[in-house]
Every structure is written in structure tokens, then in C-alpha cells.
Amino acid sequence: MAAVEEPQDYLDVLQSHRGGFSFENCKRNAYLASQVAIKPPTAMKSGTTICGIQLKDVVILAADTRSTCGPMVADKNCEKLHFIAKNVYCAGAGTAADLQHTTEMMESQMELLRMATGTQPRVCTVVRRLSSMLFKYQGYVGCALVLGGVDVTGPHLFQIYPHGSTDKLPFTSMGSGSLAAMAILEAEYNENLSVEEGKKLVAKAIRAGIFNDLGSGSNVDVCVITKDVGGTILRNFEKPNERKFRAKHAAFPIGTTPIMKQEITKLVSVEEDVVMRD
């Protein structure tokens, strides 16, 4: 017969199934943080201004074109409007690599869904898949998205945060310049605007972000999404920071810097009339 195990004491059970936060590494972490040469990883602030508005049968997105790498401008004319499907586009703020791979993956999934079902993908499908994917990574995928599209149920505009939360709004802005852009949208948005008036409004909102946020700059890109045509990207719709002139640079005259020593070494010798034979 097998031996019958005696019931464990309640405190022993708690000790063997101990949960909660572990403080074992606190002393180690404090020591590492006290060392000058060792710095803990810190989050890097990203700079962008993106926005979108929903009208009666049109969704209009807009974004600036400045890409930053810390305090430096890495790209003055990058594209922040991403294709998801013919009728669904999004403007992205956050980490460039995360945005590119996330939107390309979603583009692939929506194309496979379209071919499998034979129907145009809905905006809510894209939002649900993006929200589930971002929530799974708990914010470590740095994607802040303003997603818009027009499907069989009409125009839709969503904002999606890196942790996976979503909002459905008539107008919205995200990024480091979102406060300046939102001030323009709240003051001048009207759902009865025409398409041309809507384009001018989102461009004005992005300009507010460009002129009031150091992380935003360069040009304004606009995307107009309609039911019949789908999405149309207007690249460099406005150029508020276009350079009007370039400073002339005159070469320094010979002798500006004194030459202390000059030496010319012949590294290669060329022999003429040499024929290679077997």
C-alpha cells in the first residue's frame, strides 16, 4: 500500500506557495544605480504630431514629417501615414520600427482576411486586432495610432494607445504636439465641414504642433479616406518650414592653416609594357 501523506500545516502551505513581489534584488539594484558608469534603462521621449477628424462621409488624417533620434533630427521628411487596407489608414506616433512592423503586419492580416471572406475589411476589425496585440505586449511596443477608415457602416475614427486602450472620437490628436493640435481642433471642428475645409483644418492643427513642439516639424502630410475612392495620401500637402535660401560657403584660401611638414610617399609603382604570358 502507498503511504498516506500527512496534511501539511497551513503556514507550511503558505510558505511553499508564496506569491507577491520579490525584494531580493533591491540591494543589487541600488548598488548598480549608485555606480556612475552603470545607468538603468530609461524611456526615450518621442516627438510627433498626428491628428484626424471624422466628417459626414469622409475621414481625414494628418501628420508632420519630422523623425527624431533623441535630441537630433534623423529625418526631415519621413512618412507617418500608414496603409492598412484600401479603406483604412492610420497615423502613427512612437517608435518608428514598432510602427512600421505593426502596420505592415496588420496590412498583411487584412489582405488575407479580404481574400478569405471576399469582402472589404471593417474598421472595427482592425481596431480589435491592434488593441489585442498591443495589450499583449503591455506597452513595450511603442505604437500610438490615430486610425480612420470608411466601411459599409460609414466613417470611423479611433485612437489606440500603446497599452491597447481605444477611443472612438469625432476628432483627436496624439503625440508630443497633441495639446497644440487639440486646441485648434476643439476651437474649429464642425462635422458639417467640406472636404477642403477639413484638409485645411487638420493642416492647421499639425502646423500648431510643428510651431509649438520641438519634436515636431518639417512638412504636413494629409490622407483623405472616402467610401468610393478609398485612401488618398497628399504627400507634403503643406511646407510651413521650407528653406527659402541656402547660405553661401566660400572655400578657405590656401595658406589659412600653416603646413608644418609635407611628405609625399609613392605607394604604387607602375611598370609599362608588361605582358602576362602563360
Torsion angles phi and psi, residue 116, rounded to 5: -75, -35
The owner of cell 480589435 is 128
For residue 48, indicate whether it is catalytic: yes
How far is residue 131's CA from residue 137's CA, in Å, rounded to a whole number?
10
- Give the other-Cβ count within 10 Å of 190's Cβ: 12
E strand or H helix that includes residue 101: helix 96-117
R_g of the chain computed on alpha carbons: 29
The letter for the amino acid at 174 is M
The active-site residue out of 42, 48, 166, 256 is 48
> E strands, the chain, where?
50-54, 58-64, 67-69, 72-75, 81-85, 88-94, 143-151, 154-160, 166-168, 171-174, 220-226, 230-238
Phi, psi of 130, rounded to the nearest 5 degrees = -65, -45
Return the HEC string of 155-221.
EEEEEECCCCCEEECCEEEECCCHHHHHHHHHHHCCCCCCHHHHHHHHHHHHHHHHHHCCCCCCCEE
Write down the residue that cell numbers 605582358 correspond to.
Answer: 275
Query: How does strand 72-75 pair with strand 67-69?
Result: antiparallel
Instruction: Give the residue numbers annotated as catalytic, written as ranges.
Output: 48
